[in-house]
Amino acid sequence: MAQVTYTEDNIRSLDWKEHIRMRPGMYIGKLGDGSSMDDGIYILVKEVFDNCIDEFVMGYGSQIEISIDNGQVTIRDYGRGIPLGKVIDCVSKINTGGKYDSKAFKKSVGLNGVGTKAVNALSDYFKVQAIRDKKTKVAEFSKGELVKSHNQAKTKEADGTIVVFQPDESIFMNYKFKHDYIENQLWNYAYLNAGLKIKFNDKTIYSKNGLLDLLQNKTNAETLRYPIIHLKGDDIEIALSHGEQYGEEYYSFVNGQNTTQGGTHLAAFREAIVKTVRDFYKKNFDTKDVQTSIIGAISVRVEEPVFESQTKTKLGSLKMGPEAPTVRTFIIDYVKKHLDNFLRRNKEVAENLLKRIQQSERERKEIAGIKKLANQRAKKANLHNKKLRDCRIHFNDKKGNEEAKLGSTIFITEGDSASGSITKARDVQLEAVFSLRGKPLNCFSMTKKVVYENEELNLLQHALNIEDGLDGLRYNRVVIATDADVDGMHIRLLLLTFFLQFFPDLVRQGHLYILETPLFRVRDKKDTHYCYSQQEKVDAIKKLRGKAEITRFKGLGEISPDEFGAFIGKNIKLEPVYLKENTNIKDILSYYMGKNTPDRQVFIIENLRIEIDDINADDENEVFDVVDGEELIEQEVTT
């Protein structure tokens, strides 16, 4: 065995920016390219914006402006502005910031003094400008290194702080901001800070009624069983109703932070609703009967919050503050008192709530027998078939590396050939494969009973472990991987219908994706290009100067395991499935999967015309490919 020296020379100390750039996951979670809502570039935006929100919460500045242009972000608040003598320190010295002073920031989101330092270190360009009392100070950085410190100068601008940054492309490869993601994030800030005006590019985002506005915009009033209950107290705000959807739908926040993974406050809220309802009606309802179809939101403010990860998506705090009650006690006491009072004053709401619970109770009992048999079949099937090729690290593992668990992925494929190729190419630590047999059932407008009666859908929900909700979800990313043809698109649509109909939270929480696979391979003896569109194919042929062999992939099964390794590895292309603000699931499914309507016919015809026009435009520039010395005219037309 070779001897390895270990001396003082092997000991190295990293400065703050080197450590952040070497281990960015410790500070902002995963990196990504902007295709997922929790990718690092959105965490950078959040870290800067959180500081602006803290100023608003403390009573300074009622407007925040944010603009994004060619990947560069500019955020401006009208708060007090960073003290001019500390501008450079606040963005470049770890454990430096005003939030350590509990008098100035009693219930702030960030308390670790790292936020803007991470943005600075991970940006190719970073500029901070503070404005206070008609004076301004500007400092510019690159990758955390101070490039220029401007002298203080006089100004007529209003007090506040301006931050400009451009994420470093060497860290965030081929990144691109999705404005829909940013807008959704900004709406959450508006709901939690009623009266705050946010200007995003050419849009104004504003909420007058907080969480009441949130639920009204997330639902269709016609689907709610009773008007939204909205209650607001010191350090707590809640809103809730019951709809017709399956599962539960919650939006939870701590000190303005969207805790997408919940935590102690959400667990207490769910428990409090059940306890209050049981006491009010004096009946020991099954927990699931009360919680089914709830849509709710909760926001609390906690002194010195403890989160379970740097990205602050799950609250771990047990107490509201050093001298305060536990989070659980505080929330249960508040809900029990104020929700009970509300139901006593609003008898019609109380009657409709009771009817919804009784409906859930009947539905649960109706499928109890079917569910038991289906679970037995699923258990037996998992023992004897190869539908699921599992991985070793799962999203719901109680122990293990948090960053690794975020990478846990399941590919849902059609047929044995496609699943076989992906299985051979996958990372067995993090990537699982589930193979469908034939086209899944169109379950639009059907009840949950059909899931247990249909073997494919039942096995799929068991593979994901979501039968009783997302708490047990085994994979962070659920990827629909189908052929890029008409049949593949149909299967994709049927799977989307299944998830939106019965497990909408999977979509709302950003777990569902579409795998983009190449349509063409264009190569010569030296280079290979995988093309995802007609235009990419044309561009690749030009790069190879026309001397290219072109392969049209008709299905995933035609792609070799070696090639699949390139598509599902570091260069994987995933299109996230997400719901925009004011999107109504019932309306979407009715439009695309319901009875044929004139509106849908017009939509299909218009989009078919666009596709044909694109193809004809390609045909005007005929491409001559050289394959084995023979000249060919490629005239592929697909509809």
199 confidence band (pLDDT: 50, 70, 90): very high
- Residue-wise pLDDT for 136-168, tens only, equals 999 999 999 999 999 999 999 999 999 999 999
- Residue-wise pLDDT for 90-115, tens only, equals 888 775 555 545 454 555 554 444 68
Q: 């792609």: which residue's tokens? A: 559
Percent of the chain with pLDDT over 70: 87
Is the domain of 117 the same as that of 35? yes
41 confidence band (pLDDT: 50, 70, 90): very high
**DSSP H helical ranges for 104-250:** 115-121, 179-192, 211-218
Residue 195, domain member (yes or no): yes
Q: Is the pLDDT of residue 239 over 90?
A: yes
Per-residue pLDDT, 12: 54
| Total count of domains within the chain | 3
User: What is the overall mean pLDDT for the chain?
Assistant: 83
What is the CATH number for 469?
3.40.50.670
Is the domain of 65 the same as that of 201? yes
Is the domain of 326 the same as that of 391? no
Q: Is the pLDDT of residue 259 over 90?
A: no
Mean local confidence (pLDDT), 40-51: 91
Mean local confidence (pLDDT), 53-70: 91
How much is the CA Rg of the chain, to the nearest whole Å?
27
Range of the domain at 483: 385-517+574-588
Final residue belonging to a domain, choices 206, 241, 257: 206
- Residue-wise pLDDT for 425-439, tens only, equals 899 999 999 998 888
- Residue-wise pLDDT for 439-480, tens only, equals 899 988 888 888 888 989 999 999 999 988 888 899 999 999
- Residue-wise pLDDT for 549-577, tens only, equals 898 887 777 788 888 877 777 778 888 88
**DSSP H helical ranges for 154-243:** 179-192, 211-218
Per-residue pLDDT, 613: 47
Q: Is the pLDDT of residue 11 over 60?
A: no
Mean local confidence (pLDDT), 216-225: 87
Q: Is the pLDDT of residue 327 over 80?
A: yes
Is the domain of 223 the same as that of 282? yes
Is the domain of 197 the same as that of 219? no
Is the domain of 197 the same as that of 216? no
Per-residue pLDDT, 13: 59
* Residue 141 parent element (H or E): strand 135-142
Range picked from 284-293, 312-321, 584-593 for highest mean pLDDT: 284-293
Residue 559, domain member (yes or no): no
Residue 547, domain member (yes or no): no
Is the domain of 416 the same as that of 436? yes
- Residue-wise pLDDT for 603-622, tens only, equals 777 766 544 444 444 443 33
Per-residue pLDDT, 510: 85
Q: 């109680």: which residue's tokens? A: 398
Share in percent of the chain as helix, strand, coil (round to 5): 40, 20, 40
Q: Is the pLDDT of residue 632 over 80?
A: no
Residue 183, domain member (yes or no): yes
Is the domain of 177 the same as that of 226? no
629 confidence band (pLDDT: 50, 70, 90): very low
| CA–CA distance, 28 with 121 (Å, rounded to integer) | 12
| CA–CA distance, 291 with 295 (Å, rounded to integer) | 9
Residue 549, domain member (yes or no): no
Residue 578, domain member (yes or no): yes
Is the domain of 64 the same as that of 181? yes
Q: Is the pLDDT of residue 125 over 60?
A: yes
What is the CATH number for 260?
3.30.230.10
Per-residue pLDDT, 488: 85
Q: 């909408």: which residue's tokens? A: 504
- Quickly count: other Cβ atoms within 10 Å of residue 97's Cβ: 25
Per-residue pLDDT, 95: 57
Residue 598, domain member (yes or no): no
Is the domain of 260 the same as that of 162? no
Contact 566, 553 (CB under 8 A): no
| CA dihedral of 413, 419, 423, 425, whole degrees rounded to 10 | -90
Mean local confidence (pLDDT), 174-180: 90
What is the CATH number for 47?
3.30.565.10
625 confidence band (pLDDT: 50, 70, 90): very low
Residue 540, domain member (yes or no): no
- The mean-pLDDT minimum among 25-39, 186-200, 293-307, 310-324 falls in 310-324
Mean local confidence (pLDDT), 369-388: 76
Is the domain of 402 the same as that of 278? no
Final residue belonging to a domain, choices 185, 206, 227: 206
Cβ partners under 8 Å of residue 161, min gap 6: 51, 52, 55, 76, 77, 79, 81, 82, 128, 129, 130, 131
Confidence (pTM): 0.77
Q: Output the six-digit token pair for 548.
A: 């290219």
Is the domain of 150 the same as that of 268? no
Phi, psi at 414, each rounded to 5°? -110, 120
Q: Output the six-digit token pair for 1.
A: 């065995």
| CA–CA distance, 519 with 498 (Å, rounded to integer) | 26
